[in-house]
Amino acid sequence: MPDAAPPAINLTNHFLIAMPGMEDQVFARSVVYVCEHNEHGALGLIINKPGDIDMAELFTRVELPLPRTELGAQPVYQGGPVQTERGFVLHEPVQADGLGEDESLYASTLAVPGGLEMTTSRDVLEAIAAGGGPRRVLVTLGYSAWGEGQLESEIARNSWLTVDAQASLIFDTPAAQRYDQALGLLGLQAWTLSPEAGHA
């Protein structure tokens, strides 16, 4: 009789925290917010690697004003190695009158069950340009993706730690502190996870 398949894990609305031994430069010391995870694979955004431009420059490039000055100096993040020319806006759920719970204000939004929303359509930037839109946002260029079973096998090889995501870590914690703070959600510190065996 064949062995029963292991129970499927669903890491939607979780953080992936790169183990210290991760050698891939894109993902070394990264914290990834998982937007979607199912039997076909996973999709997420790295939330702790600021890119070369800030929000003010991004809005200039897309020819929109940015009236919310508190957003101007906020970096645009490197969300991952896929479609690095495309923007992804991670934001708090936006509820509007007349919309159902599973509907969004914006043309192309993925609602993360129990978590945030990720919008890829320009209309969310237009809403911010008009002085509205979601209050707390994190914008990335590019995203991270895993094929069927790929993320599970990387976790089995001890490449990633996982923990329930917390919006406050994304929006309130300085980028340079997010890796250590994410480990802290597990009660861990980076130095305790050295890939090398220690010698007394």
- Taking the C-alpha atoms of residue 167 and residue 44, their distance in angstroms, rounded to an integer, is 14
Residue 169: inside a domain, yes or no?
Answer: yes
Q: What is the pLDDT of residue 192?
A: 78
Series of mean pLDDT values for 10-residue runs along the chain (200 residues):
60 96 92 96 98 96 94 96 96 69 74 94 94 93 96 94 97 96 92 57
Residue 200: inside a domain, yes or no?
Answer: no
Q: What is the pLDDT of residue 105?
A: 76
Q: What is the pLDDT of residue 200?
A: 42
Chain centroid to CA 185: 16
In terms of residue numbers, what domain contains 34? 14-193
Residue 4: inside a domain, yes or no?
Answer: no
Residue 158: inside a domain, yes or no?
Answer: yes
HEC string of the chain equals CCCCCCCCCCCCCEEEEECCCCCCCCCCCCEEEEEEEECCEEEEEECCCEEEEEHHHHHHHCCCCCCCHHHHCCEEEECCCEEEEEEEEEECCCCCCCCCCCCCCCCCEEECCCCCEEECCCHHHHHHHCCCCCCCEEEEEEEEEECCCHHHHHHHCCCEEEEECCHHHHHCCCHHHHHHHHHHHCCCCHHHHCCCCCCC
Give the gyration radius of the chain's Cα atoms: 18
Overall pTM > 0.85: yes
Q: Tell me: the pLDDT tens digits for 92-106?
A: 988 665 455 555 678
Q: What is the pLDDT of residue 112?
A: 94
Domain count, the chain: 1
Cβ contact 146:16 at 8 Å: no
Query: Which residues have C-beta within 8 Å of that of residue 155, sequence separation ≥ 6?
Result: 9, 162
Residue 118: inside a domain, yes or no?
Answer: yes
List C-alpha distances in Å: 70 to 67, 73, 127, 128, 175.
9, 7, 16, 12, 16
Q: What is the pLDDT of residue 125?
A: 95
Q: What is the pLDDT of residue 194?
A: 62
Residue 24: inside a domain, yes or no?
Answer: yes
Supply the CATH number for residue 31's domain.
3.40.1740.10
β-strand 137-146 against 75-78: which pairing, if any?
Answer: parallel
Residue 198: inside a domain, yes or no?
Answer: no
Which candidate, 46, 16, 9, places its Cα nearest to that of 144? 46
